[in-house]
Amino acid sequence: MRLRRTDWNSALFAARWAARHVVLAVALCVLSVVDIRPAEAASRIKDIVAVEGVRENQLVGYGLVVGLNGTGDSLRNSPFTRQSLEAMLERLGLNTRGTNMQTDNVAAVMVTGHLPAFARQGSRVDVLVSAMGDAQDLRGGTLLVTPLMGADGEVYAVAQGSVAVAGFSAGGDAESITQGVPTSGRIANGAIVERELAFEFAGMQRIHLSLYNPDFTTAKRIAQAINNHLGASLAVPLDPATVRLSRPANTPVAMFDLLSSIEQLEVTPDQPARVVIDERSGIIVMGSEVKINTVAIAQGNLTIRVTETPQVSQPTPFSEGGQTEVVPRTEVAIDTADNERLAIVSSGVSLQDLVDGLNALGVGPRDMITILQAIKAAGAMQAEIEAM
C-alpha cells in the first residue's frame, strides 16, 4: 500500500505533535522534583572570623614637615612648632634659641600608621600625616625622620618621605575654594619597620577563632564544618564569639597547615533580626529576618505655610498730606493631610512586603524611622532597633 502525499504529511504532523508533548511532559516532571529556591549566601571561614594573635598594632609619632610654600604653621601661633624646629636644628649643630624666626614653610604634624601582623625588620608600611597647627596646605612638603611608637612606648618604625595630598586650596582677596582636606596626606611605604613583634604561631597546640559578628548559630555551624572536614571533633564553640580549634593528637600537622586547610570552608552565617537607623542622615538598614505582627499604620503631617506679600500703597495724585506706605499682606495655609488613611500590615510579612507597605503610605526615610520606632514600641516588631 502506497501512502499519498496528504496522508504522509498528516502522519508527520502527528509524530511531531506527539514528540513535543512528550518533551513537555518530561520537562514538567523534572521541574516538579527540583526545589527551586534562592541559594543562601555562604561565606568562607576566613572572611567571617579573625585568628587569635593575627592582628595589627597602631603606631603614632610626632614630626615636622618642611618645604612648604608659605602654607606652614605661623611660629607665633604654634609654639610647639617653634620648639620642635629649634630642637631639631640643635641636634644638627645649629643654635637658634633667642633668635626671631619667622619662617612659615614648616608644619608640626602627627604621623599615624599600622604595624601589620608578622611584619619583619626592613619591611615598609604606609603612614598618614595630619597637621596640628594652623598650616593651610601640606602639598609639596617632606616629612623628616619621625619615630613611630606603639602603645608600650617602644619605637617600632621610622617614617620619612614626601607627603602626597589629594585635596587643594586656592583663593584670592574676595573668594577662596577648598576641595578635600589639604592639611592631611599620605606617604606610601613611608615607614620602615625597625622592631618585630614576637609571636610563635607554628608551635601552638590550640588557637581561638573570633567571629566578627558573634552569633550562637554561626559559631556552631563553623565548628560543625571544621569537624566534618577534618573527620574529628577538633573545633568546639566556647561562646557566640569564639570557636576553639585544637591540633590533632599524635600527628605532625602544624597549626599553619591546619588553618590553611579550613579557611576555605564555606559556612552560611546567621544573623539576628535587627533594624539599624541613623536619624541624622535618614538611613535605614533592615535585615531579612525582620518580622512584623498585624498592625495598622497611619501617617500624616501638619504643614503650615506662611507667605508674606507686602504691597506698596501710594496716595492719589495732587493729594495733600498723603504718604507712601508699605501695607503687609500675610497668607497662612494649613495642610493637615486629612486624606491619609490607615494601612494594615499583615502578620509575618517579609521585608519586601514591609517596605512596599511603608512606601504605599508615601512616607520619607525620616518619617519611616519614626514609624518603625512606633511599631517596636507597640510590640508588633520582632526585631532589635539600633540607633547609630
Tens of pLDDT along the chain (388 residues) come to: 444 444 444 544 454 544 444 443 433 333 333 333 344 578 899 999 999 888 889 999 999 999 998 889 998 888 888 888 888 888 888 888 877 788 889 999 999 999 998 889 999 999 999 999 899 899 999 999 999 999 999 999 999 999 999 876 676 666 777 777 889 999 999 999 999 887 777 778 889 999 999 999 999 999 999 999 988 889 999 999 999 999 887 777 788 888 888 999 999 998 888 888 887 777 888 777 777 777 776 666 545 566 667 777 777 776 666 677 777 776 766 555 555 555 565 666 666 666 676 676 666 777 777 878 887 888 877 788 888 7
Query: Is 7 a domain residue?
Result: no
Which residues are registered as beta bridge partners of 112?
A: 60, 128
Q: Are 46 and 266 in contact (CB under 8 A)?
A: no
Query: Is 80 a domain residue?
Result: yes
Query: Is 235 a domain residue?
Result: yes
Q: Are 284 and 306 in contact (CB under 8 A)?
A: no
Q: How many helices (H) and strands (E) does the chain have?
A: 7, 23
Query: 353 and 300, same structural domain?
Result: yes
115: helix, strand or coil: strand
Q: Are 101 and 46 in contact (CB under 8 A)?
A: no
DSSP state, residue 164: B
- Least Cα distance to 368 among 279, 241, 303 occurs for 279
- pLDDT per position as a tens digit, 299-311: 665 455 666 677 7
Query: 286 and 253, same structural domain?
Result: no
Query: 231 and 189, same structural domain?
Result: no
105: helix, strand or coil: coil
Query: Is 199 a domain residue?
Result: no
Query: 303 and 345, same structural domain?
Result: yes
pLDDT, position 32: 37
Q: Are 150 and 194 in contact (CB under 8 A)?
A: no
345: helix, strand or coil: strand
Residue 171, C-beta contacts closer than 8 angstroms, at least 6 positions apart: 177, 178
Cα–chain-centroid distance for residue 126?
A: 21
Is the pTM value of this prediction over 0.75?
no
Rounded CA-CA distance 303/94 in Å is: 71
Query: Is 345 a domain residue?
Result: yes
Overall domain count for the chain: 3
Rounded CA-CA distance 143/166 in Å is: 16
Query: 163 and 184, same structural domain?
Result: yes
Query: 303 and 249, same structural domain?
Result: no
Q: Are 279 and 332 in contact (CB under 8 A)?
A: no
Query: 215 and 151, same structural domain?
Result: no
pLDDT, position 303: 52
Query: Is 11 a domain residue?
Result: no
Q: Phi and psi of 126, rounded to 5°?
A: -80, 150
| Distance set, CA 377 to CA 201, 289, 341, 374, 381 (Å) | 50, 18, 21, 5, 8
Q: Quick one: cell of 326?
A: 508699605
Query: Is 22 a domain residue?
Result: no
Rounded CA-CA distance 90/227 in Å is: 64
| Distance set, CA 139 to CA 74, 87, 162, 383 (Å) | 16, 24, 9, 49
- pLDDT per position as a tens digit, 79-130: 888 888 888 888 888 888 877 788 889 999 999 999 998 889 999 999 999 9
Query: 184 and 72, same structural domain?
Result: yes
DSSP state, residue 196: P
One-letter identity of residue 147: P
SS (H, E, C) 60-99: EEEEEEECCCCCCCCCCCCHHHHHHHHHHHHHCCCCCCCC
Query: 134 and 62, same structural domain?
Result: yes
Q: Phi and psi of 169, rounded to 5°?
A: -140, 130
Give the end of a domain, one of 267, 287, 306.
Answer: 267
Query: Is 4 a domain residue?
Result: no
207: helix, strand or coil: strand
Query: 295 and 373, same structural domain?
Result: yes
Query: 292 and 254, same structural domain?
Result: no
Query: 164 and 107, same structural domain?
Result: yes
pLDDT, position 180: 77
Rounded CA-CA distance 369/37 in Å is: 32
- Least Cα distance to 343 among 357, 333, 332 occurs for 357
Domain that holds residue 346: 275-314+326-387
